[in-house]
Amino acid sequence: MIEAVNLTKEFGNFTAVKDVSLTVKEGKVLALLGHNGAGKTTTTRMLSAILAPTKGYAKIAGYDTVTQALEVRRSIGHLTELPGLYSRMRIEEYLEFFAEVFNVPKETRRTRAEQMMRQFDLWETRKLKIGEYSKGMRQKTALIRALIHDPKVLFLDEPTSAMDPYSSKLVRDSISQLKNQNRTVVLCTHNLYEAEELADHIAIIRKGEILIEGSPDDLKRRLLGAPSFTVKLAQYKHPDNLPTRLKELVEVIDSGTDWFTYRCEEPEKYNPHLLKILVESGYQVITISETPRSLESVYLKIAGTPATASQNRDESEQTLLKLKGKRKGWFRNRRKEEANKSQERSLSKRRS
């Protein structure tokens, strides 16, 4: 559904994205993680046919993002970080307008809009102007706009930003439903819990390059090592007295009076044997539980600390920097011109 090969975007001498290659299949969610300015927004803008790549290519639902940009835009929904809502409109008018823009059949526009407003708990406030909505309500409005034409592919930039826990769960549940409907989603988020819960595949990007990618479990295993498990026992037995067969089977890494922790490369294979050994040796096992390992640990290990602003800006920041430079230069030149004219007037007065 999404194919990107060696996507690169340069702004003058600055490379915002370098050789990014991605494949996201139908019905899958990709979480694109990275510090602010790492290149996530630039990447999604190229994938959604807003920016043309300097090198490489991308296809969305079979359409090339450069030569078939219009077809790409019809196939996607895009929730941007700053959605630019029309604050003087009511949500019904707003959704009707965008449904027409996306050529949603007239007979289904209102039904579709009502369904989405009810789903995201905005039906009771539909008579208010969007400018009167809270930040979370405005975010949900922008998300509905991205979904109104029932797109095959969704690009979501911080979809639960500014939402209360109830609304955030509504959005996460909706993304899960989209997966079940074979929709493809690219999720840019700083909410690592959200990424771990929703994503089938995770790519971590830094300074415009993908450092590592894989499933959440795969990344944890590759970067944090084999999973560890804690066994809780019903009675005290000194850890040194654990059966020799058990110590040969797994690596015991910590222990206490009625528990021990071990590391195991293939738990699905060895855990049943471990339990059998403990029972045969007279131990009463209360629980065997996997030691929690968060995506945050993976992210911080691979992404590290953010680069300095000068090293790691996306194109919008670069553009603003250039505009500021030009503006300063214009004012500087203007002041010089005014000073020269003032000097010329003073000289003219003296001569006269």
**111-150, pLDDT tens digit by residue?**
999 999 999 999 999 999 999 999 889 999 999 999 999 9
Residue 165, in any domain of the structure = yes
pLDDT digits (tens, 9 = 90+) for 148-187: 999 999 999 988 888 889 888 988 998 998 888 899 999 9
- Domain count for the chain: 3
Backbone φ and ψ of 209, nearest 5°: -125, 145
pLDDT: which is higher, 217 or 43: 43
Question: In terms of domains, do 103 and 198 share one?
Answer: yes
pLDDT: which is higher, 184 or 328: 184
Question: Residue 289 pLDDT > 60, yes or no?
Answer: yes
Q: Which pLDDT band, with edges at 50, 70 and 90, does 236 fall under?
A: low
Question: In terms of domains, do 153 and 84 share one?
Answer: yes
Q: Give CA separation, 242 vs 156, 174, 253, 258, 263, in Å.
A: 51, 48, 13, 11, 15
Question: In terms of domains, do 87 and 137 share one?
Answer: yes
Q: Which domain holds residue 279?
A: 228-290
Q: Which of 221, 248, 270 represents a domain boundary (last residue)?
A: 221
> What sign does the dihedral 271-273-276-278 (CA atoms) show?
negative
Q: Which of 290, 305, 337 represents a domain boundary (last residue)?
A: 290
Question: In terms of domains, do 235 and 216 share one?
Answer: no
User: What mean pLDDT comes out for the span 32-60?
Assistant: 94
Q: Which of 35-49, 195-209, 325-339 has the lowest mean pLDDT?
A: 325-339
Residue 100, in any domain of the structure = yes
Question: In terms of domains, do 20 and 161 share one?
Answer: yes
Round the average pLDDT of the chain to a whole number and report it: 87
Q: Which of 193, 221, 249 represents a domain boundary (last residue)?
A: 221
Question: Which pLDDT belongs to residue 247?
Answer: 86
Residue 305, in any domain of the structure = no
Question: Which pLDDT belongs to residue 313?
Answer: 46
Question: In terms of domains, do 179 and 252 share one?
Answer: no
Question: Which pLDDT belongs to residue 329?
Answer: 59
Proportion of the chain above pLDDT 90, given as a percent: 56
Question: Residue 225 pLDDT > 90, yes or no?
Answer: no
Question: In terms of domains, do 208 and 352 share one?
Answer: no
CATH number reported for the structural domain that contains residue 236 in this entry: 3.30.70
Query: Which two tokens mark 46?
Result: 């190229």
Residue 303, in any domain of the structure = no
pLDDT digits (tens, 9 = 90+) for 95-118: 999 999 999 998 899 999 999 999
Question: In terms of domains, do 251 and 104 share one?
Answer: no
The DSSP output letter for 124 is G
Question: Residue 326 pLDDT > 90, yes or no?
Answer: no
Question: Which pLDDT belongs to residue 73?
Answer: 93
Residue 23, in any domain of the structure = yes
pLDDT: which is higher, 293 or 319: 293
Q: Pick from 29-38, 241-250, 310-319 the range whose average pLDDT is largest.
A: 29-38
Residue 49, in any domain of the structure = yes
Q: Which pLDDT band, with edges at 50, 70 and 90, does 312 fall under?
A: very low
CA atoms within a 13 Å half-sphere pointing along the CA-CB vector of 189: 27
Q: Give CA separation, 68 vs 10, 64, 72, 140, 151, in Å.
A: 21, 5, 6, 29, 16
Question: In terms of domains, do 84 and 125 share one?
Answer: yes
Question: In terms of domains, do 125 and 271 share one?
Answer: no
Question: Which pLDDT belongs to residue 82?
Answer: 82
Question: Residue 69 pLDDT > 60, yes or no?
Answer: yes
Find the largest Cα–Cα distance for the chain. 116
Question: In terms of domains, do 204 and 237 share one?
Answer: no
